Chains A and B, each alone.
Chain A
Amino acid sequence: MRLDHKDNNYHNKPDGLIYLDNTATSWPKPPGVARAMLNYIDEVGANPGRSGHRLSIKAARIVYSLRESVCSLFGFDDPMRVIFGLNITDGINLALHGLLKPGDHVITSGMEHNAVMRPLRNLEATGVEITTVPCSRLGMIHPEDVEKEIKQNTRLIVINHASNVCGTILPIHEIGSITRKHNLLFMVDTAQSAGVLPIHMLEDNIDLLGFTGHKSLYGPMGTGGIIIGHRISSEDIRPMRQGGTGSRSEHEFQPSFFPDRFESGTPNGVGLAGLLAAIEWLTDQGLEVIRAHEKMLTSKLIEGLINIPGIDLLGPKDAERLTATIGFNIRGMEPSTAGLRLDEEFSILCRVGLHCAPAAHMTIGTFPDGCIRFGIGAFSEEEDINKAIDAIARLASEVK
């Protein structure tokens, strides 16, 4: 293991605190992230792409470098089509609301997050037709079940690459091939898989790739967006907002070209500088090294939890088929009670409840109570997992 975190004292993670909420947001961040953000504030400062002076151009170079890094990470070839926004939810909303029209049919899965389901339900009320393909109780989907739902007016298939509830990895490559075969558009929510699993936008036939910066890319919150593939023109998507772009200022009409058409207003330059440093760190460490580390800890956690009486472990009990997110319940104890006790008595921070994913919880049979979720990250350690297993064993032993 050569994860670069043992030899720095940069972050202020208090001794004894066990952070297992990396599925919500990764923490701590690699040391270079905060440094890059501070450097932007102190040394760069200017508005990227708005002026022609040296600091504005320096700021614009940071943002442009990030477009290239994001492209490279996701196997894509056009930095102009990387659209930055607030986060992945922002990117998904832009794509769904901007692209779909009444009469269009959309296919999605039973494992989606509300980042996808809420815009889709909103669009359903305007005449967009939605089909949700059921998944197994482990959160698995059969690509042929997706194909069966294709109709004449089907325009888009939207799939969550990995569940934020129980980590199940969905087969995007196979579903991507189906969308290409039927000449449909394919959108992937990579909130839980970006930076964890290999994703190749061109080889996986992805037309719209939503990404967030603050989870497994290890960047700051307030960063993310969507990459728009070559089969979609800028005119195919209506911008969510219009305004200044630093280009074509003589016109009062929104530019038609990428990325400006979709990026009105001053961007989060500080956050994007942090994300650039984060992706550099990630690439330097190697995705496969981090994945191996997380898989090792996930296997250890599964093995530990499965041997505790009274634990219902959700999702596939196999680290190979999961990202490092484990959902489970202690029989006889509400998840909210468990979450509070884990925090107060064991200093273990996790997320309990429905995780903004009612559809996924219905699929795996934990709606409306939800579950306890442990999210392992690159900076999690074996000792954290051992302590977490001991804490759950203790709580489970107290239930009558």
Chain B
Amino acid sequence: MSAVFAVILVESTSQALHIEKLILQQGIESKMIPVPRHLSSDCGVCVRINVSSIDITRRIIAEHKLEHVTIEVL
């Protein structure tokens, strides 16, 4: 079965909220969720998106020169 979701892993909650806003401006729906344990032992949050939004999200991240941001498919 192919993956439905991916998560944007960030450094902080503030950065997660920043990215959530940037992608929403491009019409990308997302949801803030706790970081899945298998991806990181961090106790913070990440931004969940549909896998179909990965490419445009990568472009937004690059355009805004956001550092320390990675996208992982769930």
Q: Which residues of A are in contact with B by a Cβ distance under 8 Å?
A: 48-53, 57, 60-61, 63-64, 67, 79-80, 245-250, 255, 257-260
Shortest CB distance B72–A (Å): 16
User: Complex formed: what's the CA distance from A328 to B44 in Å?
Assistant: 54
CB-nearest residue of chain B to A248: B42
> Which of these, A52, A245, A257, contacts B68 with CB under 8 Å?
A257
Could you jot down 11 A-B contacts, CB within 8 Å?
A: A51-B34, A52-B32, A52-B34, A52-B35, A53-B34, A60-B45, A79-B14, A247-B13, A247-B42, A257-B11, A258-B14
User: Complex formed: what's the CA distance from A246 to B45 in Å?
Assistant: 9
A248 touches B11 (CB 8 A): yes
**Which residues on the A side are within 8 Å of B40 (C-beta)?**
250
A260 touches B11 (CB 8 A): yes
Our count of residue pairs bridging A and B at CB distance below 8 angstroms stands at 66
CB-nearest residue of chain B to A247: B12
Shortest CB distance B56–A (Å): 22
B33 touches A52 (CB 8 A): yes
A interface footprint on B1-41 (CB within 8 Å = 1, 0 otherwise): 00000000001111101100000000000001111000011
A interface, by DSSP: helix, strand, loop or mixed?
A: loop
User: Complex formed: what's the CA distance from A23 to B43 in Å?
Assistant: 42
CB-nearest residue of chain B to A58: B32
Shortest CB distance A61–B (Å): 6
User: Complex formed: what's the CA distance from A260 to B12 in Å?
Assistant: 7
B18 touches A64 (CB 8 A): yes
**Which residues on the B side are within 8 Å of A257 (C-beta)?**
11-12, 15, 68
Known A57-B32, A80-B18: A49·B44 in contact at CB below 8 Å: yes
User: Complex formed: what's the CA distance from A57 to B11 in Å?
Assistant: 15
Shortest CB distance B4–A (Å): 19
User: Complex formed: what's the CA distance from A53 to B31 in Å?
Assistant: 11
**Which residues on the A side are within 8 Å of B17 (C-beta)?**
60-61, 64
**Which residues on the A side are within 8 Å of B15 (C-beta)?**
80, 257
A52 touches B45 (CB 8 A): yes
Shortest CB distance A297–B (Å): 39
B11 touches A255 (CB 8 A): yes
User: Complex formed: what's the CA distance from A48 to B45 in Å?
Assistant: 11
**Which residues on the B side are within 8 Å of A259 (C-beta)?**
12, 14
A249 touches B43 (CB 8 A): yes
**Which residues on the A side are within 8 Å of B43 (C-beta)?**
50, 246, 249
**Which residues on the B side are within 8 Å of A51 (C-beta)?**
34
B44 touches A247 (CB 8 A): yes
A48 touches B13 (CB 8 A): yes
User: Complex formed: what's the CA distance from A57 to B45 in Å?
Assistant: 9
